Every structure is written in C-alpha cells, then in structure tokens.
Amino acid sequence: MTDDSWLKSSIMAKRGLAKGHAGRRHELTIEKQGSFHYVYGPYAKPALTIDPGDVVVVETEDAFGGVITSEKDSPTAKLKFPFLNPQCGPIAVNGIGKGHCLAVHILAVETRGAQPAGKTCIIPEFGGLVGTASTALLNPPLPERVRVMHVDKDGVRWSDKITLPYQPFIGTIGVSPEIEAISSLQPDYHGGNMDLPDVAPGAILYFPVHVNDGFLYLGDCHAAQGDGELSGVAIEQRATVTMQIDVIKDWSFAWPRLETREFVMTIGSARPLEDAARIAYRELVRWMSADYGFDEIDAYMLLSQAGRMRLGNMVDPKYTMGASILKKYLTS
Amino acid sequence: MTDDSWLKSSIMAKRGLAKGHAGRRHELTIEKQGSFHYVYGPYAKPALTIDPGDVVVVETEDAFGGVITSEKDSPTAKLKFPFLNPQCGPIAVNGIGKGHCLAVHILAVETRGAQPAGKTCIIPEFGGLVGTASTALLNPPLPERVRVMHVDKDGVRWSDKITLPYQPFIGTIGVSPEIEAISSLQPDYHGGNMDLPDVAPGAILYFPVHVNDGFLYLGDCHAAQGDGELSGVAIEQRATVTMQIDVIKDWSFAWPRLETREFVMTIGSARPLEDAARIAYRELVRWMSADYGFDEIDAYMLLSQAGRMRLGNMVDPKYTMGASILKKYLTS
Amino acid sequence: MTDDSWLKSSIMAKRGLAKGHAGRRHELTIEKQGSFHYVYGPYAKPALTIDPGDVVVVETEDAFGGVITSEKDSPTAKLKFPFLNPQCGPIAVNGIGKGHCLAVHILAVETRGAQPAGKTCIIPEFGGLVGTASTALLNPPLPERVRVMHVDKDGVRWSDKITLPYQPFIGTIGVSPEIEAISSLQPDYHGGNMDLPDVAPGAILYFPVHVNDGFLYLGDCHAAQGDGELSGVAIEQRATVTMQIDVIKDWSFAWPRLETREFVMTIGSARPLEDAARIAYRELVRWMSADYGFDEIDAYMLLSQAGRMRLGNMVDPKYTMGASILKKYLTS
Amino acid sequence: MTDDSWLKSSIMAKRGLAKGHAGRRHELTIEKQGSFHYVYGPYAKPALTIDPGDVVVVETEDAFGGVITSEKDSPTAKLKFPFLNPQCGPIAVNGIGKGHCLAVHILAVETRGAQPAGKTCIIPEFGGLVGTASTALLNPPLPERVRVMHVDKDGVRWSDKITLPYQPFIGTIGVSPEIEAISSLQPDYHGGNMDLPDVAPGAILYFPVHVNDGFLYLGDCHAAQGDGELSGVAIEQRATVTMQIDVIKDWSFAWPRLETREFVMTIGSARPLEDAARIAYRELVRWMSADYGFDEIDAYMLLSQAGRMRLGNMVDPKYTMGASILKKYLTS
C-alpha cells in the first residue's frame, strides 16, 4: 500500500476543477469501444464523454492488436502496417478546450486476459540496434523471434531463471492535435507512443489541450520495459487501466508533463535523441521559471547539477526522454 | 525553349495509362479552391476530380497565406500556427488506389499576383542556423526581418546589386497518407513540404499512392531557393502551376521519386540529416536493383562513385535530400 | 560504511593479477605531477610507474585549471582553449599492453583545497541548451555567470535554500590511444571526458589497453552533476582520488566497462546521442554473449525489458551514455 | 586547357606572401617520405621544409597502403586498423605560425603506378548504408567485395558498359592541430579526411594554422567519387600531386576554406550531418560578414536563396559538407 497523502498537494488537486475529489465512474470496455483508432486526431467520434474529476476504467488491447499469441507466430505475417498499436478512445471531457490542460492520474494498470499474457518479439527492420525504415541500411535483418510468458502482479516470468518485477505503465497515451492525425506509433507534443516507464500507476500526467473536449486516447500497456525499449517491443499485454481525469483551466505549455510524489518531469520526443533531451530540459527550465520563481539561467545551472533524465524509447518514429527534478529543490 | 523529346522515353510516357498523351485541361483557381488545407490527409473532400493524363492549372497561395506584404510586417504577429503553408487540392484522380503510382509532370510554375511578388523573412525560432522548437535552446532569438522584391521570369531582384535567376519550383506537393493527416509544414514518405529545388518545371514526380483517388495536394511555390532553405524561408510567391497527371498501375515503392532528362532521383525526409540521405540512397539502390538489373551491392558501389546528393531543406520538421544518378549509367 | 564484501566476487578480484590484494601505495601530488596534460596519447612520459595491484593517491586540478576563483571571474577571459581540463598522469602500469585490460577500483574522491571549493559557470557557446562550435548557430550567446560554493562530504551548498548531496565522481579518466592524442575535453573508446556520474567511489572501471604500460590519465573531479551535465559544467572541484589499479590479461573489448555491486555497465560516446546509446547497448549485448552465456538475440530481448541507460554528458565533443543490467539477471 | 586568368584575382594571389609567383620546386617521393603517418599532429618530424610560394610534387600512397591489389583480396584480412590511410608529410613551411593561413593551390592530381590503378571495395561495418562502429547495430554485415579497374586521365573503366569521367581530388589533406594527433581517417577543423570532391585541381584551399611551420599532411587521392562516398570507399589510387603552397599572414578562422574561379566555399565536418552543414554555413556567413561587407542576417538570408551545399562524405568518423556561394553575388 502506497502513501497517497501527497496527492492533496499535487498540482492536479490544487488547480484542477475537481479539487482532487473523484466524480462518477465510467467503464470503457472492449465491447463499448468497438473499433480501435490508429491515429491521434480530431476526426473521430468520442467513445465516451465524461466530466472533469470522473474516474474511467478502460480495457486496452495490446500493441499487436492481439494477433501474436504463440512463439510460432511470425510478426511479419501477422502485423499489418499502419494498423498497429490500436488505441481506445477518444474520451471527450466536457468543458475543456484549447489553452487548458488535461490531467490524468493513473490509478492502476492491471494485466487482462488469458495466460501467457505477456508477449514480446523481434520485428525485422524495427528496433534500436538494427537498420530501420529511417536509419535505412542494406544489412540483412535479424531473424524474427517471439516470446510469450506468464505475467501477473507478482512478476514477469522471463525464463525459468529470470523473473522481472511487474512494473506496468501506459506505453501510448495523449490528446488530439488540432488538425493533424498522428500515427499511434509516434510520440510527439501531444503525447502518443512515448513508451516512457514513468507513465505508471501513481503518476499524474498533464497534457496541453488542442481541441474542444480534449479527446484523450490510450493503449499499448506494458508489464515491464527497459530504458529505451531496445528491440522496439516491451512486455506487451492487454490491460485494464484505471485513471482519474481532471481539467486545469488556463494552463498552457508545449509538451507533456508528469508529476509524482518526489519529482516533476517534462517529456520531449524528437530525433536525433539529443533534441528529445533538449526539448525536455528546456521545458523544465521554462516550468521552473514560470511556476517556481527561478531565473532561467539559474534553473539551467541547477539542472546541470540536479537534473535527471530518463530514456523512454529510442525506437519509435521519434525518440522520447523525460527530464525531471526532485520537488524538494524547487525553491529558488 | 527546352528540348522535350526525352519525354517520349520517360517512365511516365512508357508506363502511364495516358502513354504521354495530354487529356482534358482543368483549372483550379483560388476561387474554386475555396478554403485551403493545412494537413495532407484523407479527411478532406476533393476540390477537383480528373482522369489520368489530364492537365491541371492550379493557382497557389504563398506559404504565408498572403499575409506578409510589406517589409514592416512582423512574421510573429501575422503567422498563426498551425495554419501555415496553405495547400490546394486534394485533386482526386479516377482509377488510382493503394499500390499504384501517381505521376506528375510539372510543365510550368509562373509568378502570380502583384509586385513585389517575392517575399522572404526571418522567423524567430525557425531556420537552419538558430535554435528551434526541436533543437530547443535557451539562446535569444534573431530579430525578425522581412524582404519583399520584384520577381518575374527574368529574375529575382534581391537588391540593387544582386539579381538571382528565376528558378521556380513547387515547395510542397504530395499525396494523402492512408490514415494520417500530416501537417503541410512537414515532408515525409507522402511528399509534402520537401522544399527540394529539383521539383521544378520539366521534372516528373512519382508518388506511391495510399488512398483511393490518390488525393494530390500542392502549394508553397518558390521563385528561388538555396540548398537547405537555410533561414527556413525561400523567395515565397503566389504561383500558377501547370502539370500533367497520370497513373502507373502496380508500381509500388516507399518514397517519392523524380525523373528528368538526365537523371533519376529518390527523395528521403528524416532527422537527423544522415537518415534522409540514407533513405534516399537506399531507395535508389532498390530502384536500380528492381528496374535496371543491378545487384544491390553493385548498385551501392556504383553510387559511391557516381551518386549525387541534393540538399532540399534542413529546416522543416524533417529534412529532405534527393539522391540521383545519371541515366546514362543505368546499365548494369 | 558500505559493505564491500561483493568485491571478492568482482571481475577485478577474480581475473586481475593481484587477485584483489592491495599492493604498494603511491602518491601523485600536484608537485610530483609538474605540468598537466591536455591530450590522452602516447607522446608523454609517465608521471608515475606502478605494479598491478598498487594503490595510487592522485591530487587532481579542477577542469578550469584553478583559474576560476570568484563569481566576478569571466570564463571567457580566463579559459584558454585548448589548455582546458588538465589531466594527471600518465600512470604507467608494468606488464600491461595491447589486448589486455586495465582495471581501476575507485576508493575515494575527496574535495581538496580552500573553500569555497565548488565552482560552476555558464560558458558562452558551450552547453546542452545553447548553440555551440558544432551545433553552429547565429543566435546571441547566453550571458556568462559564475557560482562558487562550499563543498564538503556533507553536501554542496548550492544556495541558502538548496543543499545537494555530495556525490563525487571522476569526470575524465582513461587510457592512451595507440597513435592518436585525443583532447582531454573529448570522451571516446579510450574513456576520457565521459562525465558519467557512475564513475564514482565503489565502482570498478575496465579499460581496453592500446599501448605498453597502459598510460592512465585522470582529472576533472565533480562534487555533483545532473544527468547530461546540462550547462557543460558540473560542480567542479580539486580532489584527492584514491584508487587501486590492476591488470586483467587477455581481456579485450572495444569500449570502457564498469562494475558495481549491483550491475555491470558499458559506456559509449558518440554523436548523435542515439549512437552513444547504440554503442553502449551493443557492447552490453556482446559482453552478455561472450561472458554470461546469452545468445545475442536473447540478450537484446532481455535488455529491452531490463536494461537501464544513464545519460552522462550531452555537451562534450562526443556525448556519453552508460547501459547497464543488474547482475542478478545475468543468467541465461 | 583551362583559363587560369582568374588566379591573379584569387585571395591567394592578392594576400599571399608570394603574390601568386611560383617559387622553388620540390619533390617528395615515396622514397624520400620513408614511413607514412596515420595521425595529423605536431609529434612528427617534417619530411620536407619549403618557403612560401614554393611548388611541391608529392607521391601519395593509396588509402589501403597499397595492400589491395586483386579482386580476390579480403579487405578484412589485409587492412590493419589504425594503420589505414597513410599520409605524406608533414611539410613544414617557413615563417608560418598560429593565427596565419596556409594556402594550397592544387595544380594536378595524376594517377601513379601500374594498372589496374583504381581500387574500390566493400569493408564490413564501414560505409553509409550499413551498421558501423558508431551506428552500432546487430545486423549481419554485408559481404566483402573488391573491384579493381583501369584508370587514366580519360576515365575510370567501371565496367564494360560504364566509364566514369576522371575527376580526381585529394581525399585527405590538412594541417597539424596544436596539441591533438587526429587519426588520418577523421576530418575536422584541421582538414584531414574530408573526402570532398571540390578539393580538386584548380581549387585553392585555405587552412587555419595551429603550429609553427604549419605541418601540411596529405594522401588518399581519388580518381572519382560520388557525393557522400557512400560505401566509404572511392576509386582509390596512388597519385602524383602537384601544388603551390603559400602563406597569408594574420588571416584566422575556424574551419577550412576553398576558392575556385566561380565560388568560395567553407567546409564543416561533424555528426550528425546537419551539424556539418551548420558549421559550413555559419562559417560562410561569418566570411561574408568579415570580408565582403554583409550584415550577418543579410548573409544568412542571401544564402537561403543562393547558397549551395556539397556532401563530401557521410561515412568517416565525422561527416563533411561544403557550403558555397558564387563570387558574383558577393557584393552586399
């Protein structure tokens, strides 16, 4: 049992419309969702409409659309681009629009479905240590390989000898751009396929909103993942996600933000990887300057000594990094 | 007067449905276009529908949407992201679909509208030698600056002392992705904002098609531009574009291609810049292998000695390079 | 007091010539060092010669060569490129040569000299969020700024309100290349200016050796540093470094490695940043394959779920990342 | 026969100590050279000492050190890193020192030695479309392949069907750094392995000098090369290089420059490739500002419309690009 007392002093509780109080509870089941989405955009109809403060329980499909079920499956044969990484939603939030902030407090990410519930694989021309569609090379690809494994809250059974801790998170979550429809395989300023392990139960996400009703999408839950999601594939699982959603009026910024008990984080996605880091750190400098009283140069200097950087993915169309600083230092 | 006799042996003439013969002539005026588009996607309705072989004359708006008219204008005040780089179209082409190729022979790009017809400017946090939204830095921005100048077919009057040749091309042109709606500011596998000076009168472009009727968009004509479009802005102009459009059945590839009398070119867009070059060169290796009888390694070795690379832009959300080889070497 | 019992099972203890036993103790004082070095290369004479297993205590100068002493100092006026980041050594180790491995167990890094012992600053055209000599831009530079502060083992007094923990490490350490003389500002396959906080007391470093006697150099100790060393400057200090040095015969690899009680790490330095990450992860795959019985694809898949990546610097001529995996998973 | 009348108005003729007049003629034969160099640095002894204005004829070895002679040779077996790309020199130039400029007018690059004089090959883990030591991947390498061919001034006999024009240039040329010794495989601020086809007969190179007597090195002549030197290997040849060398006092800048009859060029080398382009263009902005009366922003804007960019190599430890502008526009 974690101590949630910090939540009362979170930005969401202090500045959100619901003031930290939970509203109604909604369920967005696979059946209710119907067809999935493969882009983050404004051209879809809401699968669910809620009020600020409401709690939503969402059943997500895995990133493969459920088609990889056995170690004998061929990813190349089963996966049909661009219909990968199916997303639930969009969830419309009443009363939110451009210039406001959508807050998402992740309460739980639980494994769903039959065992072996965890899947991972090698997909040719995709991943961090192989030639890809962008890093376009002539080398022969790696062979395909699929691993399926038992996953529950006690761990991920990688092999007879190795059990990894169950450290689930939401691989893909975000809001609709204003006019673009961005592939669910890509992370960007709207969130999306960030594959950042900090997007986990206990954290609060803050997204800048670009369209009326915000249009929250999510999917692609992982049971475990290393920094960088090196092969391009984590321990993929179907999941049940529980989250509280709120609205902060008139809080506008450029890239997704995240808060935990201990730290605040800004998330950047770009190529090359240093641009993801630059975006994340510059956003953090600007946040420290806007909300915590730092002069920008002082913030820059303090982050040089106390900033932390988490590598999310180095495999998606843009790479993702999260820059953070402990809240205890946020006093200028 | 250029010698167009090579056109009879072009890929378009040999493999296109129209066999090089011009069909009906259409006009897509500013009035007929009505509202412009700011994304390349399948969610719009056609502004014009044509048959393979038809000729289309399109009036394009400049990349600023016409709002920069004086050297006293402030780009920051006038330009409203994401409603930049307005696009004409989509032009629907009967009988084309996924797996086919859309061919565009550019016949003319003529300056349109009142003088001074050419505009260029410095936009803060945009360009190749400044910190940007992606290469996110803390340095102060450059000052804004606008230049307007007389442009006609005889030249671009840069200053009293300097007249640049009129070398017009289409900065942004491409087809709709299957499900994405990609910003008109971005180049990618669908074409888009490539800002590559080879996309000029006399050249034939080949696009892989992703949706029924192809959905061709275009805009953003330039009167002149250096390699890289260094400041992010060329000599922007309103233009009248004349082009013949055709369809090649069952010709499928990954990135835009281009043909002139002398060479064939493949176009890649990515970051970092070496990935754009890798995409372009790998596509050229594959083309030489598929259509000209080269073994892939031999093609790779020949391009090492005879390949040419043109830098399109190093300023847009993805950078663009075009790899080419003289046709006379395309004998294995 | 840390528990050092793991050291008996370290690679250094098991494979090193000294079998974990400490040899003679040497001191390399500032006086004994005489002039410092600004390149890592084979063209210098040893400042000290030792046997495998010996313990060495080295007095290091700070990265500024001690010339920044007051918040009124101008870095631009005081710092004279390329005579920056002075290095102690080279330390020659008897009996070592090309193809062997030099092991360095860091025992202590203690602040040396008068208070305020910690210095940091903003240097124009240097750092992670500004245009630089390589990311060459036209923006105006940031203003210079110097901070000096009290540093001791109890903490770094950043300001009246903020005290950072004293987490010292060696910013620059490595061995001589075979024929190159590499600037002490640059990290590479030889080690050098990696600015990676894991290079700290308690860790054991392993370097591939390129010349007879190995030629170990070091300097540039930091009292604290954030991930990425964002401004290009950590809390710089003069220090006294204590380390045991040993030799592992016939252990050859491409990039520096590191071992702690809990994990093993490989260190890559390159631009763009993803290449540093790729180098580090590929080296770890190869290590897991060579020494721990993993098939390369299995190692790649396991790191995708359990690998960790630390950002060292994103400011030096090459950027540095360290990829690691917990030892408890190193069973195939 | 080319018209050399422009040389009288070249920077070298106008500002060089010899005022365009040829001094004594020297020969640096293979025999006189003795052992070659594999680093550019100050730690070698001059192979030849000359006066400003003197003409030097140098016999260069090919980049393989002459060990690849047959299509049956294995590059992996024959090439021994780091002893690749042997360099002639250093040539000491009396009266030159830090802060001055070394000018090299290339008069001829002639094929030397027995036929087949041209060699090229595929080297595993080296090249622009494969995983490498830096872009470190797990894909299997390409197979080795060697091609040897007849080369003379009339052309490069690529195959029975393809003859490429003989367009020779010096792949590697530059001056000594102040304290570094940089691998002859790497280009940087000192010149070195730029692999830029503009470094050809007729051009004048300008290098910033870092040590007394300048210390000019050169080697690695190519009979032909495509933009990017895609496979990492051009048509390598032994050559006889003729050049006139002069000194311009008190002309100091950061990166190599080049002049031809038609244009001036600045050369940048870095990774990622956009940083090479940024360096080259920023240097050109600064040159236009310092010597041709342009305001920096105006220079930036003009290069956006009239700048040209040549890709040298995208395969060496740093990539090289040359930015140029026609001299006729250099009037502000």
Please state, for a pLDDT cut of 90, what percent of chain C lies above it.
98
Nearest-CB residue to C139 (from B131, B136, B272): B131
Question: Which residues in chain A show pLDDT less than 70?
Answer: 1-2, 332
What average pLDDT is seen over chain C?
Answer: 97
B202 vs B220: CA distance, rounded Å: 18
**In this predicted structure, what is the pLDDT of residue A332?**
59
Q: What is the reported pLDDT for C2?
A: 63
Task: Tell me the pLDDT band of B332, cut-offs 50, 70 and 90.
Answer: low
Query: What confidence tens digit (pLDDT) does each residue in C164-221 have?
Result: 999 999 999 999 999 999 999 999 999 999 999 999 999 999 999 999 999 999 999 9
Do residue D302 and residue B224 have CB atoms under 8 angstroms apart? no
- The percent of residues above 90 in pLDDT, for chain D, comes to 98
CB C306 within 8 A of CB C298: no
Per CATH, the homologous superfamily of domain C5-252 is: Acetamidase/Formamidase-like domains (2.60.120.580)
Q: Give the other-Cβ count within 10 Å of A256's Cβ.
A: 32
Arithmetic mean of pLDDT over chain D: 97
- Residue D291 binned pLDDT confidence (cut-offs 50, 70, 90): very high
Stronger pLDDT, D74 or C332, i.e. the higher one: D74
pLDDT at D305 over 70: yes
Could you tell me how many CB contacts below 8 A there are between chain A and chain B?
83
Residue A331's pLDDT is 82
Nearest Cβ partner of A137 from D129, D136, D272? D129
Predicted confidence (pLDDT) at residue B79 exceeds the cutoff of 80: yes
D332 touching B, CB under 8 A? yes
Average pLDDT over every residue of C84-113: 98
**What integer pLDDT is reported at residue B331 of this predicted model?**
82
The one-character DSSP state at D309 is: E
Residue D286 touches partner C, C-beta closer than 8 Å: no
pLDDT confidence of D2, banded at 50, 70, 90?
Answer: low
Homologous superfamily of A5-263: Acetamidase/Formamidase-like domains (2.60.120.580)
The DSSP line for A7-35 is: GGGSHHHHHSTTTT----EEEE-HHHH-S
- pLDDT tens for each residue of A96-117: 999 999 999 999 999 999 999 9
Taking the alpha carbons at both ends of chain D, their separation in whole angstroms is 33
SS3 of B95-144: CCCCCCEEEEEEEEEEECCCCCCEEEEECCCCCCCCCCCCCCCCCCCCCC
Instruction: Respond yes or no on whether ipTM tops 0.85.
Output: yes
Residues of C in contact with A120 (CB under 8 A): 301, 304-305
Q: Among A43, A80, A84, A180, pick the best mutation site for testing chain B contact (most B Cβ within 10 A).
A: A180
For residues D232-251, one letter each, b for 16 or more C-beta atoms within 10 angstroms of the residue's C-beta and e for the rest, the string is bbbbbbbbbbbbbbbbbeeb
Structure tokens at A305: 């000594």
Closest-CA residue in chain B for C143?
A: B139
Mean pLDDT, chain B, as a whole number? Answer: 97
- The pLDDT-based confidence of B3 (bands split at 50, 70, 90) is confident
The domain segmentation of chain D, as residue ranges, is 5-251
Q: Which residue of A has its CA nearest to C142?
A: A297
User: What is the enclosing helix (H) or strand (E) of C135?
Assistant: none
Domain D5-251 fold: Jelly Rolls (2.60.120)
CA distances for C12 relative to B181, C6, C175, C200, C215, angstroms: 56, 11, 17, 16, 18
pLDDT, tens digit, for every residue of A129-176? 999 999 999 999 999 999 999 999 999 999 999 999 999 999 999 999
Structure tokens given for B285: 């290796």
Confidence class for position C332, pLDDT limits 50, 70, 90: low
Confirm or reject contact between C226 and chain A (CB < 8 A). Answer: yes
What's the confidence (pLDDT) of residue A119? 98
Q: Which of C180, C279, C285 sits opposite D183 (nearest CB)?
A: C180
Task: With cut-offs at 50, 70 and 90, classify the pLDDT of residue B44.
Answer: very high
C274 residue type, one letter? E
Q: State residue A253's pLDDT score.
A: 98
Q: What is the pLDDT of residue D332?
A: 59
Q: Say if residue D72's pLDDT is above 80.
A: yes
Sign of CA dihedral B166, B128, C140, D100: negative
Q: Which of residues 4-33 of A touch D (CB under 8 A)?
A: none
* pLDDT at position B165 over 70: yes
Where residue B4 falls among pLDDT bands split at 50, 70, 90? confident
Question: What chain D residue is nearest to B275 in terms of C-alpha separation?
Answer: D273
Over range B210-236, report the average pLDDT.
98
pLDDT in tens, B169-201: 999 999 999 999 999 999 999 999 999 999 999
Q: Which residues 6+ apart lie within 8 Å of A182 measured at CB?
A: A39, A40, A41, A188, A190, A192, B180
Would an 8 Å CB–CB cutoff place B35 in contact with chain A? Answer: no
- Listed in sequence order, the DSSP H helices in chain A are 11-15, 30-33, 75-78, 273-291, 296-306
Q: Over 70: is that where the pLDDT of C127 sits?
A: yes
